[in-house]
Amino acid sequence: MLDELKKIEKKALKALEDAEDEAELQSWNTAHLGRKSALMDVFTQMSRLGKEERPQVGRRANEVKIALETAFDARAGEIKRLVVEGSLKGEKLDVTLPGRRVKRGRLHPITQTMRRIYNIFAEMGFQVYRSRDVETDEYNFELLNFPKHHPARDMQDSFYTNKEGIILRTHTSPGQIHAMREFAPEPVRFILPGMCYRYEQVTTRSEMQFTQVEGLAVGKNITFGDLKGTLADFARRFFGQNVRSRFRASYFPFTEPSAEMDIECFVCGGDGCSVCKHTGWLEILGSGMVHPTVLRNGGYDPKVYSGFAFGMGPERLTMLRHGIDDIRYFWRNDMRFLEQF
């Protein structure tokens, strides 16, 4: 049996030298180290040997197996090196070919719009004030002149938490109370950006979560004319110097009087089209003079101080500016859409 092992080793090593590629290597491995190989057959026959011969044959069989496995690994490395060398010699590298452009990350279109809004209002003297996303019912509704069971609460379906009186804010307006209480009785001029949440049906024009930018200015002798001038100037800076705007009477519990602001449709030039629903105008925000009750809740005497507030949706502004017809595009993470900005 020991002579047989010697012949097996010699024959296997000779065959390994003749292997020239990976396919021949795999065939060699199956033939000489596989379960049906002559070497494995020796291990199978070990039980038939005598007690004195069995240890010697077993030890020698293991030595042959280790030697063949080592030789296989060495030959495999050598063949791989030869393949690489042949590839380098046979192939040419054209260093004049242009490289592939590295894809760079981009700001989300809503982030771009938010930054543009920040810059415009910063030039007007407004500072950024941030408030929390999780609010109390008191700050989100009651202090903004939404008493309990007020019908205007139905305009904003809320996400309620397990803790009574704690909700996800439905608008950024609660930040008005936080800002006024922090700085009263000093004059303030803030924009309050952030995410809002409403339990609404998701459609092409509405989402369950969306961004808002609230505006607030409180001081002495502030008039509706100041509000109109500020927002008309914003519209010109954001949409272009030739844009026309108008104000329409509206209702919000926390402002009185209240108004919504439209700009002339830049698609049809005011003639009427499907984008503006054939009215020639596009709504961009809501606004009004801060209600005396809200001023009082914020720490200001409404007999001495007055103020204006407004709220706009960056998603809607982005849709109008770029002609986007579905608000859901902003949240789908579709690179084909996002890479356009």
Torsion angle in degrees (nearest 10) through CA of 129, 131, 133, 134: -170
Distance CA 285, CA 262 (A): 7
Instruction: Determine the Cα angle at 316 with ends 258 and 194, to 5°.
Output: 80
| pLDDT for the residue 105 | 79
Find the mean pLDDT for residues 221-240. 94
Higher pLDDT, 212 or 72: 212
Q: Which of 169, 26, 108 lies closest to 318, judged by CA?
A: 108
Q: Where are the domains of the chain?
A: 2-90, 109-338
Q: What is the phi/psi pair of residue 264, to 5°?
A: -65, 135
- pLDDT confidence of 260, banded at 50, 70, 90? very high
Q: Which of 163, 177, 176 lies closest to 134, judged by CA?
A: 163
The end-to-end CA distance of the chain, in Å, is: 78
Residue 267 has pLDDT above 80, yes or no: no
Mean pLDDT of the chain: 86
Instruction: Determine the Cα angle at 90 with ends 84 and 91, to 5°.
Output: 90
Question: pLDDT tens across 52-105, in order?
Answer: 777 777 787 788 788 888 888 888 888 888 888 877 777 777 778 888 888 777
Homologous superfamily of the 109-338 domain (CATH): Bira Bifunctional Protein; Domain 2 (3.30.930.10)
Query: What is the token pair recorded at 283?
Result: 């709504």
Question: pLDDT tens across 142-185, in order?
Answer: 999 888 877 766 666 788 888 888 999 999 999 999 999 999 89
Residue 209 has pLDDT above 90, yes or no: no
Taken in order 279, 265, 249, 310, the sign of the CA dihedral is positive
- pLDDT confidence of 187, banded at 50, 70, 90? very high
HSE value, Cβ hemisphere, 13 Å, CA-based, for 69: 9
| pLDDT for the residue 155 | 64
Question: pLDDT tens across 102-137, in order?
Answer: 877 788 999 999 999 999 999 999 999 999 999 998
**Which pTM does this prediction carry?**
0.66
Question: pLDDT tens across 279-327, in order?
Answer: 888 888 999 999 999 999 999 999 999 999 999 999 888 888 887 878 8
Higher pLDDT, 227 or 271: 227
3-class secondary structure, 311: strand
